[in-house]
Copies of this chain bind each other. A is one copy, B any other.
Amino acid sequence: MADDATTDPALRSWVPGADDSGFPIQHLPYGTFSVAGDHPRAGVAIGDQIVDLAVAARAKLFDAVLHDPVAAFRGPDLTPFLALGPAAWQRVRAELSDLLRADSTRSRPMGDALVPQADATLHLPFAVADYVDFYSSLEHATNVGRLFRPGADPLLPNWRHLPVGYHGRAGTVVVSGTPVVRPAGQAAGPEGPVFGPSRRLDIELEVGFVVGTPSLLGRPVPPAAVREHVFGAVLVNDWSARDIQAWEYQPLGPFLGKSFATSISPWVTPLAALEPSRVDARPQEPPVLPYLRVDEPWALDLHLEIGLRSAGMAAAGTPFDVISRPDFARLYWTLPQQLAHLTVNGASLRTGDLLASGTVSGDRGDEGSLLERTLGGREPLRLSDGSERTFLADGDEVVLRGSAGGGGRPRLTLAEVTGTILPTHR
């Protein structure tokens, strides 16, 4: 099995176990971490270790590639580094590869900058500027349309012409592991609205893209400029309270049904690491308007799954039940199209803007939400502890997992997103 990945020292790392960990030298995702209550700073994951970029910068390991590495990596989050733009991202990535490769001549100073992931607390990796949530899965939009507007055409007339999206609440984007308090709110009742904890608390599995380089107000960003502006990708759980959402969302869209929490990965996978996962997108019919035309293949072949376990399963150490494996490569609207649409009216981008795909759904059994997976609650799921779920129960823990590569290429693990449901405060 002496393929390139095992013989070429540039494709392996001297960090023990890194090559097969999901965090090999081909990945190098960025995050923000702290140790023992120290202040948060920037880091890169390799194997089960973190490169403390603040320490590495002070040790002058990036002096050849950045003007002010200390400022770029001192924290409290990745924002200063993300703002530097694609040339800086590329130079730092190349330098990190050189420092971490199996035959590196600089493994000793780099070793001094390593921190075990087990000792670190991970924080929200970047300050979320604006959070835009798209609605780009044909299967998801079709499923939801059927459930909410039975008998009508499930796709609204605009859906195949533009990537429908809306703004979510940036201030309640939280890092994986943050507990989610069940939201209370109004829902429709038989004799008018009723108030109480949501009874239809749901998951939405999404992939989010993080903007690094800002753009100018009044100047659209073309699809071909995607690498100039987008730094990397995270998994996103866009928690949703379906009963609150259904009552509130007309005519201005989702608000409190979504705004209580959105969880993201602690590690941002650079877009550069996903280049080998780019594949042709599914055909779009009718053809899109010129501003949405993309020449390159920009679907991403990511393997995604949703895991769910009850409090009892967690207490017993039972693994998560995998309830869905959606196929991200089938997303109808691609990242360059979302970026071009978002800015075609002149809206500017800021460092930290988060563009989420919208719920990623596959065929029956591989939907990205419980709403779809249980057909609006009509077909409950049975968990391995024998309990049934339509929507989430208090104590339930959800995990979103994702990966790229495999099949001859190194497998990159998109950092998982977990969250446990806590009861509404009284």
Contact = CB atoms under 8 A, between A and B. Distances in A.
Given A162-B186, A183-B346, A167 B219 contact: no
Nearest to A174: B217
B254 A252 contact: yes
A129 interface: yes
A422 B219 CA distance: 13
A345 B241 contact: yes
Contact of A169 (B130, B161, B218): B130
Given A218-B425, A425-B219, A248 B167 contact: no
Candidate in A164, A174, A178, A346 with the most chain B CB atoms within 10 angstroms: A346
Interface size range of chain A in the complex? 35 or more
Nearest to A133: B252
B161 A256 contact: no
A261 interface: yes
B168 A261 contact: no
Nearest to A211: B171
Given A181-B218, A218-B181, A166 B347 contact: no
A244 B350 CA distance: 23
A252 B162 contact: no
Given A250-B158, A350-B171, A185 B344 contact: yes
A109 B289 CA distance: 63
A256 B347 contact: yes
Given A129-B171, A425-B218, A346 B260 contact: yes
Nearest to A134: B252
Interface string A393-426: 0000000000000000000000000000010110
Interface string A322-358: 0000000000000000000110111111100100000
Interface in A232-255: 241, 244, 247-255
Contacts of A290: 195
A311 interface: no
A338 to B, nearest CB: 11
Contact of A252 (B135, B184, B422): B135
A95 B53 CA distance: 45
A301 B167 CA distance: 31
A129 B162 contact: no
A150 interface: no
Contacts of A37: none
A424 B171 CA distance: 32
Interface in A196-232: 217-220
A256 B291 CA distance: 14
Top 4 A-B residue pairs of the complex, sorted by shortest distance between their CB atoms: A253-B253, A183-B345, A181-B218, A166-B252
